[in-house]
A and B are shown apart, each in its own frame.
Chain A
Amino acid sequence: MSRIYDVAVIGAGVVGMSILRELTRYRLKVCCLERMEDVAEGASKANSGIVHAGYDPIEGTKKARFNVEGNNIFADVCNELDVEYKMIGSLVVAFDDHEINVLEELLQRGKRNGVKGLEIKGQEWVFANEPNLSRNIKAALFAPYSGITNPYKLTIALFENAIQNGADVIFDFEVCKIEKDGNYFVVHSADGRFVKSRLLINCAGVHADEISKMAGSKLFKIYPRRGQYYILDKPEKMPVARVIFQVPTEKGKGILVTPTVDGNVLVGPNSEYIDSKDDTATTQEGLDEVFEKARRVMPSLSKRDVITIFSGIRATPDTHDFIIEEDENIKNFINVAGIESPGLTSSVAIGRYIAELVSDKLNAKINLNFNPYREDIKRFSELSDGEREKMIKLYPSFGNIVCRCELVSEYEIVEAIRRGARTIDSVKRRTRAGMGRCQGGFCLPRVMDILSRELKIDKTHITKFGKNSYILTEKRWED
């Protein structure tokens, strides 16, 4: 296989997908190369989903710039792509005078970064507005423009929109070698395929340093830094209305408690440097740490409500800032690396910046057919009974509930598959089937039936998330 592109992006996380989508605004032949079988299989599926206001990063850094820019345009992008986004505001809570001083510093830094609406609120305000927080809290920094989103749904939406506008995404393509052939980069996958491209963008997340090295580009190092989380069942009443942070330390923004856009409660993450870049295991110590620290802020937190645990890995660069630049020596090779937090918030702004840079370099014309709009799958759980009735008339499978906890219909699953889902997890991220309190206990076999039918494959070939993650090992008899 050989394909020739103007631009190839390595890595289908939220950053890679944002760049890919923005590139389709131009008349360029673009593709993304991804080692897994779906988008958002790295940090972009396992993070806090917070759209940060921008008071954390040191002024003058790329982090500060793209965070604030990203925050400013986030709502518009989510609107175009039909992705949930709620500007619920955030609080950084302080327990003592020292911490109150930190709030003051954050406030000043935020102002210098251009963050609007920051205010330090006193105890009474905090308890009046967040009655479930600890009575030991003395003050809080309020950032009204902080928000929450669904990180993997955003990545998926960017992907779908990029495809709609003519981009290719090649899955199961693990980049292992990069060569130069005249004006082209030749990018090889582990299984012998290759792609040629005039310009190459490295968005390989935690592996970006290896890719950079393969291209003969700048040597920097990415240290994997893991964060562990709990997800709690959808409560009848949300215990917190805003994102609740603790005062940041040198280890990061600390443990937060927040509603998710889907109505669950998210608690985490801690921060620990780990040896392996792909070690997404949770550990007893890590989980205990998260729980104890979160309990300090919200004493009523209960392990009884936990429905699942997971971890995500931050791509922490040794440069202490996002690396977003063309290599001085290797023309047309652009590193977008070390995109740790606030990378999700920044992704849409980084995408625009890189697309402009690339279009200038390649002298690209505007794609007049570019359509910025993408529509989400119609969800049973979100419609009124009247709308449900209409949908069932059109599509009877909308009346067949497959996931009982999240009320996901067969129609939604078929639609997810039509849009590119091939695995159990990819169906799950697109529809929420299996994300509820029973975690697929009921619907896993049913989702497999539908995948097998729609993709015309035997169930023994269905995987959880590609490669060797098969669910069933052998067919014993025919029914």
Chain B
Amino acid sequence: MEKYKVVVIGSGPAGLAAALESFKNLDDKKVLIIERDKFLGGILNQCIHPGFGLHYFKEELTGPEYAHRFIEQVIESQIEYLTETHVIDITPEKEIVAVNKKGLKRIKADSIVLAMGCRERTRGAIITPGTRPAGIFTAGQAQRFINIEGYRIGKKAIIVGSGDIGLIMARRLTLEGIEVKAVVEIMPYSTGLRRNIVQCLDDFGIPLLLSHKLVKIHGRYRVEGVTIAKVDFKLKEIPSTERFIECDTVLFSVGLIPENELSKKAGIVLDMRTGGPVVDNTFSTSQKGIFACGNVLHVHDLVDNVTLEAQTAGRYAAMYSQYPELFENNIYINIVAKEGIKYVVPQKLNKTFVQPFVLRFRVDNFYKDAVVTISNAGKVLIKIKKSILTPGEMESIEISQKILSQLDFSNDIVVSLQNI
């Protein structure tokens, strides 16, 4: 069996950053990246629009450009990688089984970083009635066909979901000569960035139908149209508001789900709300020596955050592979999401590594003028005023050394939100 200090599964921005950071922190530089696709870079390879790296590089790059900067470093550092290689199994003992055209590979890792990204929710997952003709795509499929393979996927389209991906795809389809009839959003607000609503819809005159639901897909062989309807505040269809829209394409952009089938095989505890593993501030999962970062941990809207998070995970993975004893018998304080907060990552603070870290979270609804507080043992440690909070935008709060020094370690850290 081949042996490595750190094995990274997945080569998107999370995998690349984690591998580079592990590599830097190791004496014995045995790091391996395993990627099932032909190329390194993950989902970024098909995101040819600008909008990546504003925070990390302070300049606006396209997805492939952003990925390229990390791929270059991986190649320069001569970090080993396997492409077109699919990891099919991980055990709690950190043995990996991967498969490619040459055969089955068994690899023993001192530590593993999970960076498998996520998959898209589908038409079926949100239980959309109607027929099942051709012409129904997820945003990712459409992006691949259009941006990588150079095909047109239809003539007239409806987009379901107004998160950033749906918005960006509305613009992309329009630029490709496909008429986007509307972007349909069930919530009363878009979860996409303001900037994207302006640049991707308003600039092209594409209507955004808030509080609207796709209620039925029509067409026998190819999509022939959809019926949409208004919904009330309970998201229930309002009778007699039904409207038929003729189109030959429906694009679903209705959310992402962390890809944790392998994590389950390794017996890792998952968080129902994030869909990813429960981690502490070292990004360690419930299985010692297995770390997680990027979209496999929780869905990010900005790649810059993925990179930062992955660097931390990579650093601790390197540390684990050299000094596993530091991770023995760890004691944790829980970090709990309360009123108004959907989830927090990390979910625990490791008492052995009480070091500054970034707490990331999402709110559970649309809020105007609210305060986010972080408290501990009944004491408010941080209080941040926000004029607008939406579930679509991930929030980050720095937990500094100063705050850590005020902690009562026998009590939970509580994150909550109050209206003002």
A interface list, Cβ under 8 A from B: 230-231, 236, 278-284, 286-287, 303, 306-310, 385, 388-389, 392-393, 396-397, 399-401, 404-405, 407, 424, 437-442, 444-445, 459-460, 463-479
Of A308, A438, A465, A479, the contact of B149 (CB 8 Å cutoff): A479
- Residues in A with CB closer than 8 Å to B86 are 401, 404
Please measure, in the bound complex, the distance between the C-alpha atom of A421 and the C-alpha atom of B101, giving whole angstroms.
23
Please measure, in the bound complex, the distance between the C-alpha atom of A470 and the C-alpha atom of B140, giving whole angstroms.
18
- Residues in B with CB closer than 8 Å to A407 are 88
- B contact face: mostly helix, strand, loop, or mixed: mixed
B150 with A396: CB separation less than 8 A = no
Mind listing 14 A-B residue pairs with CB under 8 Å? A231-B124, A281-B131, A283-B216, A284-B237, A287-B127, A287-B129, A310-B132, A389-B103, A396-B101, A466-B221, A469-B222, A473-B153, A476-B150, A479-B149
User: Is the interface on chain B under 10, 10 to 19, 20 to 34, or 35 or more residues?
Assistant: 35 or more
- Residues in A with CB closer than 8 Å to B150 are 475-479
| Least CB distance, B329 to chain A, in whole angstroms | 29
B378 on the A face (CB < 8 A): no
B133 on the A face (CB < 8 A): yes
Nearest chain-A residue to B84 (Cβ)? Answer: A400
| Least CB distance, A422 to chain B, in whole angstroms | 14
Across the A-B interface, the 8 shortest Cβ-Cβ residue pairs: A308-B124, A464-B134, A468-B221, A396-B101, A469-B134, A474-B152, A469-B221, A401-B86
| Least CB distance, A280 to chain B, in whole angstroms | 6
Please measure, in the bound complex, the distance between the C-alpha atom of A274 and the C-alpha atom of B141, giving whole angstroms.
34
B interface list, Cβ under 8 A from A: 36, 84, 86, 88, 97, 99-104, 119-120, 122-125, 127, 129-135, 138, 140-141, 144-146, 148-155, 176, 215-218, 220-222, 237, 248, 261, 264
- Residues in B with CB closer than 8 Å to A306 are 124-125, 127
Please measure, in the bound complex, the distance between the C-alpha atom of A460 and the C-alpha atom of B88, giving whole angstroms.
32
B119 with A442: CB separation less than 8 A = yes
- Residues in A with CB closer than 8 Å to B148 are 479
A392 with B101: CB separation less than 8 A = yes
Nearest chain-B residue to A46 (Cβ)? Answer: B132
| Least CB distance, A279 to chain B, in whole angstroms | 8
| Least CB distance, A294 to chain B, in whole angstroms | 14
A282 with B130: CB separation less than 8 A = yes
Of A399, A424, A459, A463, the contact of B151 (CB 8 Å cutoff): A459
- Residues in B with CB closer than 8 Å to A399 are 99-104
- Residues in B with CB closer than 8 Å to A469 are 133-134, 221-222
B104 with A385: CB separation less than 8 A = yes
- Residues in B with CB closer than 8 Å to A286 are 129
- Residues in B with CB closer than 8 Å to A389 are 103-104
Known: A475-B150, A478-B150. A441 touches B102 (CB 8 A): no
- Residues in B with CB closer than 8 Å to A478 are 150
Known: A472-B145, A473-B152, A473-B153. A441 touches B119 (CB 8 A): yes
B129 with A281: CB separation less than 8 A = yes
A445 with B100: CB separation less than 8 A = no
Please measure, in the bound complex, the distance between the C-alpha atom of A231 and the C-alpha atom of B122, giving whole angstroms.
13
B215 with A284: CB separation less than 8 A = yes
B103 with A393: CB separation less than 8 A = yes
* Most chain A CB atoms below 10 A, which of B124, B133, B134, B217: B134
Nearest chain-B residue to A410 (Cβ)? Answer: B101
Additional pairs, 11, CB under 8 Å, beyond known A280-B132, A281-B218? A231-B124, A310-B132, A389-B103, A389-B104, A396-B101, A399-B102, A438-B119, A442-B140, A445-B144, A471-B153, A475-B150
| Least CB distance, A440 to chain B, in whole angstroms | 8
A392 with B99: CB separation less than 8 A = yes
- Residues in B with CB closer than 8 Å to A444 are 141
A392 with B151: CB separation less than 8 A = no
Please measure, in the bound complex, the distance between the C-alpha atom of A445 and the C-alpha atom of B146, giving whole angstroms.
11
B100 with A278: CB separation less than 8 A = no
| Least CB distance, A471 to chain B, in whole angstroms | 5
| Least CB distance, A461 to chain B, in whole angstroms | 12
- Residues in B with CB closer than 8 Å to A278 are 220
Please measure, in the bound complex, the distance between the C-alpha atom of A474 and the C-alpha atom of B104, giving whole angstroms.
39
Nearest chain-A residue to B218 (Cβ)? Answer: A281
- Residues in A with CB closer than 8 Å to B216 are 281, 283-284
Nearest chain-B residue to A396 (Cβ)? Answer: B101
- Residues in B with CB closer than 8 Å to A284 are 129, 215-216, 237
Please measure, in the bound complex, the distance between the C-alpha atom of A438 and the C-alpha atom of B248, giving whole angstroms.
22
Please measure, in the bound complex, the distance between the C-alpha atom of A326 and the C-alpha atom of B359, giving whole angstroms.
76
Please measure, in the bound complex, the distance between the C-alpha atom of A407 and the C-alpha atom of B264, giving whole angstroms.
16
Please measure, in the bound complex, the distance between the C-alpha atom of A249 and the C-alpha atom of B123, giving whole angstroms.
32
- Residues in B with CB closer than 8 Å to A465 are 134, 221
| Least CB distance, A380 to chain B, in whole angstroms | 8
Please measure, in the bound complex, the distance between the C-alpha atom of A56 and the C-alpha atom of B131, giving whole angstroms.
31
B138 with A441: CB separation less than 8 A = yes
Of A282, A310, A438, A476, the contact of B120 (CB 8 Å cutoff): A438
* Most chain B CB atoms below 10 A, which of A284, A399, A400, A405: A399
- Residues in A with CB closer than 8 Å to B100 are 399-400
A470 with B134: CB separation less than 8 A = yes
Nearest chain-A residue to B120 (Cβ)? Answer: A441
Please measure, in the bound complex, the distance between the C-alpha atom of A286 and the C-alpha atom of B129, giving whole angstroms.
9
Please measure, in the bound complex, the distance between the C-alpha atom of A396 and the C-alpha atom of B86, giving whole angstroms.
14
A388 with B99: CB separation less than 8 A = yes
B221 with A441: CB separation less than 8 A = no
| Least CB distance, B420 to chain A, in whole angstroms | 34
- Residues in A with CB closer than 8 Å to B221 are 463-469
- Residues in A with CB closer than 8 Å to B119 are 437-438, 441-442
Of A283, A397, A400, the contact of B129 (CB 8 Å cutoff): A283
Known: A278-B220, A439-B122. A475 touches B151 (CB 8 A): yes
| Least CB distance, B402 to chain A, in whole angstroms | 41
- Residues in B with CB closer than 8 Å to A479 are 148-150
B129 with A282: CB separation less than 8 A = yes
- Residues in A with CB closer than 8 Å to B97 are 385
Known: A441-B119, A470-B222, A472-B145. A464 touches B99 (CB 8 A): no
Known: A287-B127, A306-B125. A400 touches B101 (CB 8 A): yes
Please measure, in the bound complex, the distance between the C-alpha atom of A94 and the C-alpha atom of B181, giving whole angstroms.
50
| Least CB distance, A474 to chain B, in whole angstroms | 4
A439 with B133: CB separation less than 8 A = no
- Residues in B with CB closer than 8 Å to A475 are 150-152
Please measure, in the bound complex, the distance between the C-alpha atom of A388 and the C-alpha atom of B86, giving whole angstroms.
13
Please measure, in the bound complex, the distance between the C-alpha atom of A309 and the C-alpha atom of B124, giving whole angstroms.
6
A476 with B102: CB separation less than 8 A = no
| Least CB distance, A185 to chain B, in whole angstroms | 29
B99 with A401: CB separation less than 8 A = yes
| Least CB distance, A104 to chain B, in whole angstroms | 38
- Residues in B with CB closer than 8 Å to A440 are 141
| Least CB distance, A479 to chain B, in whole angstroms | 6
A280 with B122: CB separation less than 8 A = no
B127 with A303: CB separation less than 8 A = yes
Please measure, in the bound complex, the distance between the C-alpha atom of A475 and the C-alpha atom of B176, giving whole angstroms.
11
| Least CB distance, B376 to chain A, in whole angstroms | 33
Of A279, A303, A401, A438, the contact of B36 (CB 8 Å cutoff): A401
| Least CB distance, A397 to chain B, in whole angstroms | 7
Please measure, in the bound complex, the distance between the C-alpha atom of A283 and the C-alpha atom of B237, giving whole angstroms.
14
Please measure, in the bound complex, the distance between the C-alpha atom of A448 and the C-alpha atom of B88, giving whole angstroms.
23
| Least CB distance, B83 to chain A, in whole angstroms | 12
Please measure, in the bound complex, the distance between the C-alpha atom of A464 and the C-alpha atom of B215, giving whole angstroms.
23
- Residues in A with CB closer than 8 Å to B101 are 392, 396-397, 399-400
Nearest chain-B residue to A306 (Cβ)? Answer: B127
Known: A389-B104, A400-B84, A404-B86. A281 touches B99 (CB 8 A): no
- Residues in B with CB closer than 8 Å to A424 are 134
